Amino acid sequence: MFLLTYFNAPELWKQKDIRLHTYPSLLWEDTVSLPVDVRRYVLRFSILGGYVRFAGATVIGVARQDIDSLSLDFYGYVVDSVKVDSVPTTFRTVPLTVYLPSPLNSGDTLNLTVFYHGDPDSVSCPSFSGGIYTRSDGSFYTLGYPQGFRCWVPSLDRPHEKADEGVEFFIETDTSLTVLANGLLVDTVRTGSTKVWHYSHNHPIAPYLVSMAGRVLAANRWTWTYGSITMPVMAWVPPVDTVYRWGDSLTTMLTYFSDLFGLYPFADEKYEQSVTMSAFSGGMEHQTTPFFSSYFPYSTQAHELCHQWWGNDVGYGTFKDVWLGEGFATYCEMLWAEHGGGFEAYRNYYTNTVERQFFTYASNPGKPVYNPGPDIGDILSVYTYNKGAAVLHMLRYVLDKDTSLFFGALRYYRSRHRGSYALTGDFVSDVQTFTGRDLTWFFDQWVYQPGWPVYRVRWNTYNDTAWKVILVVEQIQPAGAPTFKMPIEVKWVSGSMDTTFVIWDSLDVQTFTLRWREPPDSLVWDPDNWVLERHIVRRDSTIGVDEVAPSGARGMVVDVRGREVVVIPPAGKGSVIVYDRSGRRIVVSEGKLKVVLKPGVYYAVSGSIVRVFAIK
């Protein structure tokens, strides 16, 4: 989606003076069974001089229950009349409710047409986007995200209520304009100073992905060949700008992502992108025909192209699940970098773009990836885009970096929901089914809970039969973020040699022992940046000494008297935390601590000082 390829959504609103005026309370509602199963929209428009002179929207569907009336989502136009099966019928507005000439039984077909006209109202529409946007030169485009389809088409405007058989357009405009819409151009008919463009798209489509635009444009054109398939590929720009060849990597992208995810879902129709938007900065993934505001780079083109698989073909059922589109498309930016420059380019794009943007705008604990909040700025934010991409990055890692397993899981998930929609729970279940692994722990902490781990890592080394490193790892992220369980790579560097260990950290404080034949010069925490985390690593010559040191060493007194222990922080000031061997926090105190404990091994922590002691 266009709002967060490079920006945090609230910041973009400030830059563009975009305001959300009123938004319906149903915004993040769960999937519900609506009275009618929409099969197809047939849309007729006459748009001249920025005015919708005439519009007729036909909703074709099948009743899911017995009904004698139907309420449609619609806003901002004058309704002239309504017909059901060509029979005029009565209606009322606000909300638009159509009273059927005769009741429909469950399973009956509905063919309902609303005729209307008026000025597009892109300001007061009860959605982030305002439906139809017009320019002073008579050009126009539509934008229906997230629930702005109702601002130009009477509809059942929910992301999970796809039109199963697609959408059809008849669009009359001035002959100077090129008109774009979902699907294939069937024909054009000139009528004096105007022309009618007829498009047909024959795949399931969510309401917010239905689109049309008219502008003076010319196309760079290519043909994509994939096995026995050939498909037109176009990039539409103002005529003077075709020389830039914007879009010249689209056929390569289509092949690359088809190899990874399975065949491009609309290969029997087309793929095109166009510079048509003006009120927003970015791109929008309209099905088969993404709209851009300017000549965005390859990474953004890859983002919008990948939405055709993730968000379009496999839709998301609610706006709580928007990361299933935006996180996936952002991850595709990383994959496109990997295609051009291997793993190093992939890692660098993640570190310097995805992760850097996340830490610039996010707060810890912040918001979860799934259902981050009730506001537009929540679902279109670094939590769904950047952290959503990081979830896939880390999933690839915890699946042992096995690309066949990782991409196989994505293809399996797609096969289960293509042409329909999925919820976050579906993705979790499908990944676990395909991989045969229980990954509940992973998704629970990274998708359903907020925050990220902050590690304080201290280490020291000894030489006995081999070189030994004692590693003390604390998780010090703020309250509200969980304690994370993750495998962490630790690189042991010795001169020009190195080796990498993997530790499984899962507690508030944990000690690990590593052994190798060479003495360590340094330890590098998470060297390939597989985990979304922050860390501080330092060598501490007191580690290990503490295990046999007398009470009072390092300025913290730990005095064990049978089952009673007294802990005095340095200079008698500061907090003391005692953890048991499992990392569970036992007691916290400001200043001197006196407590009776059960037999076992414990850690006393005061600031950066950690002591290990035993109760017998």
Q: Output the pLDDT for position 564.
A: 83
pLDDT of 552 over the 60 cut: no
Q: Output the pLDDT for position 198.
A: 98
Domain with CATH 1.10.390.10 in the chain: 1-18+245-267+292-449
- Residue 553's pLDDT band (boundaries 50, 70, 90)? very low
Q: Output the pLDDT for position 471.
A: 95
223: exposed, middle or buried (Cβ count in 10 Å: 0-12, 13-18, 19+): exposed
Q: Output the pLDDT for position 8.
A: 39
Reduced DSSP (H G I as helix, E B as strand, rest coil) percent helix, strand, coil of the chain, to 5: 25, 40, 40
**CA 173, CA 191: separation in Å to the nearest integer?**
10
Kindly report whether the peptide bond that precedes residue 204 is cis, defined as omega within 30 degrees of 0: no
**CA 510, CA 601: separation in Å to the nearest integer?**
12
Domain with CATH 2.60.40.1730 in the chain: 19-217
Kindly report whether the peptide bond that precedes residue 365 is cis, defined as omega within 30 degrees of 0: yes
The better pLDDT of the pair 549, 344 is held by 344
Identify the architecture of domain 454-539 in CATH: Sandwich (2.60)
pLDDT of 18 over the 70 cut: no
CB 11 within 8 A of CB 360: no
* Residue type present at position 498: D
Q: pLDDT per residue over 408-458, tens digit each?
A: 999 999 999 999 999 999 999 999 999 999 999 999 999 999 999 999 999
CATH for the 548-615 domain, from 2.60.120, 2.60.40, 3.30.70, 2.40.128: 2.60.40
Domain with CATH 2.60.40.1840 in the chain: 454-539
What region does 433 belong to: left with phi over 0, alpha with psi -120 to 50, or beta? alpha
Q: Output the pLDDT for position 27.
A: 66
CB 164 within 8 A of CB 212: no
Percent of residues, the chain, with pLDDT higher than 90: 79
Find tokens 């985990």 and name the residue. Answer: 531
Q: pLDDT per residue over 300-332, tens digit each?
A: 999 999 999 999 999 999 999 999 999 999 999
Q: What is the residue-averaged pLDDT of the chain?
A: 92
The model's pTM is: 0.88
Q: pLDDT per residue over 580-611, tens digit each?
A: 888 889 999 988 898 989 998 898 998 878 88
Q: How far is CA 375 from CA 20, 22, 160, 279, 346, in A?
A: 10, 11, 19, 20, 32
The better pLDDT of the pair 281, 178 is held by 178
* Residue type present at position 230: T
Q: What is the DSSP string of 548-608?
A: TPPTTGGG-EEEEETTEEEEE-GGG-SEEEEEETT--EEEEEES-EEEE--SEEEEEEETT
* Residue type present at position 74: F
Kindly report whether the peptide bond that precedes residue 126 is cis, defined as omega within 30 degrees of 0: no
**CA 202, CA 186: separation in Å to the nearest integer?**
12
Average pLDDT of span 333-351: 98
Average pLDDT of span 495-510: 96
| Beta strands, E only, 64-191 | 67-72, 78-84, 87-89, 91-92, 96-104, 109-118, 131-134, 140-143, 167-174, 178-181, 184-191
Q: In DSSP terms, which residues pair with 473 in a beta bridge? A: 457, 510
Average pLDDT of span 351-375: 97
Percent of residues, the chain, with pLDDT higher than 70: 94
Average pLDDT of span 506-527: 95
pLDDT of 189 over the 80 cut: yes
H or E element: which one contains 237?
Answer: strand 229-237
Report CA torsion sign: 49, 50, 51, 54.
positive
DSSP secondary structure letter of residue 478? P
- Residue 1's pLDDT band (boundaries 50, 70, 90)? low
Q: pLDDT per residue over 78-107, tens digit each?
A: 999 999 999 999 999 989 999 999 999 999
Q: What is the CATH number of domain 1-18+245-267+292-449?
A: 1.10.390.10
Q: Helices in 280-375 by DSSP H: which ranges? A: 298-306, 323-349, 356-361
Q: pLDDT per residue over 125-134, tens digit each?
A: 888 888 999 9
Q: pLDDT per residue over 222-246, tens digit each?
A: 999 999 999 999 999 999 999 999 9
**CA 375, CA 382: separation in Å to the nearest integer?**
14
pLDDT of 3 over the 70 cut: no
pLDDT of 22 over the 70 cut: no
- Please give the span between the terminal C-alpha atoms of the chain, in angstroms, as a whole number: 60
CATH for the 19-217 domain, from 2.40.170.20, 3.10.20.30, 3.40.50.720, 2.60.40.1730: 2.60.40.1730
Q: pLDDT per residue over 270-280, tens digit each?
A: 999 999 998 88
DSSP secondary structure letter of residue 163? B
